[in-house]
């Protein structure tokens, strides 16, 4: 622990052109959040006559390196990540013209190769600011694999899992193809845990399942993509008025109904090859506009029949409503 000059710190986190090196924030739970209130205040401090107080006012930066070699009062670091301090780093880089030798920052430099230690440090240091519980999932290996898996599909089939908040803001990506952790949790819980009623009122209970029933380390990645793409497709139908907007309040109930109508048999285990095969069949339907439009139209009809034109939250966002939807989907055709 100690203090380092802002100029020295910027030399670590910037490239030869003075641009921030994005890759060293890969294990940070959030990407650059732009100039919100906190970041604006940091910028104003650096531009003021009180910039020398910055070291007293800032929470500081935490760097974790897999190799740390001290030589006197200097340190050689290798294979490092800034796990807390992404916002500070970006404001400092943007304000480098106002920075002089009086600007110092608190720095914690940690050397470890233990993944459990790294995870604990990321979690603890980010508790100083408001971070949603699902955002801590961002640094797990499963989340990183999920991010790459979504991007592995081609063209119209590709989605972008926003593992780190705002990570795609600077890229030219269709916003509707960006899947936030919150929306993925809701879509997966509705589609595969059969809990569409828990996506709003009991959302906290869903986040408590992260690492277990949701985002389980051994889970196949495929059902998460299916749930996300199904939600993307359904929102497309709403935007283009192919399904009446009155059904929006029941979007997660429709996702469940669509999955059950396509295949009402019991689900395979989340870590099985059978789950991969199950998802391939659904994907083939979702990727075909004619088939998917028909599937969602039938799912909306099931939900409408159960709702009886009452789409109020007290009617549709409760367990008995979900049970009726399941029963309707499983009922034999007349």
Residue 279 has pLDDT above 90, yes or no: yes
Q: 10-14, 38-42, 229-233 — which is least confidently predicted?
A: 38-42
How far is residue 247's CA from residue 237's CA, in Å, rounded to a whole number?
Answer: 11
* Reduced DSSP (H G I as helix, E B as strand, rest coil) percent helix, strand, coil of the chain, to 5: 55, 15, 30
Phi, psi values for residue 162, rounded to 5°: -85, 80
Minimum mean pLDDT range among 13-27, 80-94, 114-128, 308-322 = 114-128
- Please give the residue that has the higher pLDDT: either 29 or 276: 276
Q: How confident is the prediction for the chain on average, in pLDDT?
A: 87
pLDDT of residue 221: 95
Asked if 181 and 137 touch (Cβ cutoff 8 Å), the reply is yes
Quote the pLDDT of residue 226.
97
Antiparallel, parallel or unpaired: β 160-161 and 61-71: unpaired
For the segment 211-222, the average pLDDT, to the nearest whole number, is 91
Compute how many other C-beta atoms are within 10 angstroms of the C-beta atom of residue 210. 19
In the three-class reduction of DSSP (H, G, I as helix; E, B as strand; rest coil), residue 287 is classed as coil
Residue 235 belongs to what H/E stretch?
helix 222-239
Q: How far apart are CA 1 and CA 84, in angstroms?
A: 14
* Residue 334: predicted pLDDT: 53
241 pLDDT more than 70: yes
- pLDDT for the residue 251: 94
Residue 139, pLDDT score: 65
According to the model, what pLDDT value does residue 324 have?
93
Whether 283 has a pLDDT exceeding 80, the answer reads yes
For 217, the 3-state DSSP assignment is coil
Q: Please work out, in degrees rounded to the nearest 5, the angle formed at the alpha carbon of residue 22 by the alpha carbons of 135 and 14.
A: 135
Residue 309 pLDDT greater than 90, yes or no: no
Please state the φ and ψ torsions of residue 90, each to the nearest 5 degrees.
-70, -40
DSSP readout, 79-135? EEEEEE-HHHHHHHHHTGGG--TT-EEEEEEEE---HHHHHHHHHHHGGGS---GGG
Question: How does residue 125 score in pLDDT terms, banded at 50, 70 and 90?
Answer: low
**How far apart, in whole angstroms, are the C-alpha atoms of residue 245 and residue 66?**
52
State the pLDDT at residue 126: 61
Q: For residue 120, with 0-12 CB atoms within 10 Å meaning exposed, 13-18 middle and 19 or more buried, which class applies?
A: exposed
* CA dist., res. 96 & res. 144, Å (int): 32
Q: Which residues pair with 63 in a beta bridge?
A: 82, 109
Q: What is the pLDDT of residue 86?
A: 86
- The domain segmentation of the chain, as residue ranges, is 2-128, 133-330
The mean per-residue pLDDT over the stretch 222-247 comes to: 94
Q: What is the mean pLDDT of residues 73-101?
A: 87
User: From its phi and psi, is residue 316 left (phi > 0), alpha (psi between -120 and 50) or beta?
Assistant: alpha
Q: Is the pTM of this model over 0.75?
A: no
Average pLDDT of span 62-88: 87
pLDDT in the model for residue 29: 66
Determine the Cα–Cα distance for residues 153 and 282; give it in Å rounded to an integer.
Answer: 15
């Amino acid at each position: 622990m100690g203090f380092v000059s802002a100029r020295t710190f910027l030399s670590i986190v910037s490239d030869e052109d003075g641009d921030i090196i994005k890759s060293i924030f890969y294990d940070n739970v959030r990407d650059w959040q732009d100039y919100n209130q906190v970041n604006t205040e940091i910028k104003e401090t650096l531009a003021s006559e009180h910039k020398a107080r910055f070291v007293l006012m800032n929470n500081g930066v935490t760097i974790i390196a897999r190799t740390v070699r001290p030589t006197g009062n200097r340190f050689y670091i290798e294979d490092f990540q800034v796990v807390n301090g992404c916002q500070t780093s970006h404001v400092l880089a943007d304000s480098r013209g106002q920075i002089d030798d009086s600007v110092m920052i608190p720095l914690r430099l940690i050397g470890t190769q233990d993944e459990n230690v790294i995870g604990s440090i990321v979690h603890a240091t980010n508790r100083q600011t408001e971070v949603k519980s699902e955002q801590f999932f961002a640094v797990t290996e499963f989340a990183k694999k999920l991010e790459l898996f979504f991007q592995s599909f081609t063209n119209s089939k590709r989605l972008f899992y926003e593992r780190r908040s705002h990570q795609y803001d600077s890229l030219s990506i269709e916003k509707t193809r960006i899947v936030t952790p919150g929306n993925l949790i809701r879509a997966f819980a509705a589609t595969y845990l059969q809990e569409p009623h828990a996506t709003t009122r009991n959302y906290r209970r869903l986040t408590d399942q992260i690492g277990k029933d949701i985002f389980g380390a051994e889970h196949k990645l495929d059902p998460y993509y299916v749930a996300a793409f199904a939600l993307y497709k359904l929102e497309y139908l709403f935007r283009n008025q192919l399904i009446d907007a009155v059904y929006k309040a029941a979007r997660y109930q429709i996702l469940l109904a669509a999955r059950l109508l396509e295949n009402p048999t019991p689900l395979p285990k989340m870590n099985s090859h059978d789950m991969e095969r199950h998802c391939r069949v659904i994907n083939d339907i979702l990727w075909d506009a004619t088939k998917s439009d028909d599937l969602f139209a039938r799912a909306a009809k099931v939900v409408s029949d159960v709702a009886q034109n009452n789409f109020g939250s007290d009617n549709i966002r409760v367990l008995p409503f979900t049970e009726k939807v399941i029963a309707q989907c499983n009922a034999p055709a007349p």
